[in-house]
Amino acid sequence: MKIAITSTGNNTESTIDSRFGRCTYFAIYDTETQGLEFVPNQSKDNVEGAGPASAQLVASRGVQKVISGEFGAKVKDIFDSLKIQLIVVHDDKKQIGSIIEMLNNAKN
């Protein structure tokens, strides 16, 4: 299963980005292959519509769960109808590496 985590940078030391639509990177982690890819968020500086554009980006990558600090109202509907689960992490000091570790532990 693929999981997207909003990230402030492009490595596992980076912390989670607290905003979904305007995050800097999406860390896309595949729990089966344990592959990790950092995708820059092109719509981060959009005047409006950053959320839906970001939702489109992660959904088109076949992600089934999204982890972020906060989700806007516009993306909630989109993810609901795509049956993509949203997970909110309030601790914005959490590093991508440690979230992945938690995901691996949860699987085992």
Q: With beta carbons less than 8 A apart as the criterion, state whether 71 and 88 touch.
A: yes
Would you say 59 or 86 has its CB closer to other proteins?
Answer: 59
For other proteins, the binding residue among 32, 33, 60, 90 (CB under 8 A) is 60
| Piece of the chain touching other proteins by CB under 8 A; list 8-16, 30-38, 48-56, 88-96 | 48-56
The secondary structure of 38-102, three-state, reads EEECCCCCCCCCHHHHHHHHHHHCCEEEEEECCCCHHHHHHHHHCCCEEEECCCCCCEHHHHHHH
Would you say 77 or 92 has its CB closer to other proteins?
Answer: 77
| Piece of the chain touching other proteins by CB under 8 A; list 7-15, 28-36, 44-52, 97-105 | 44-52
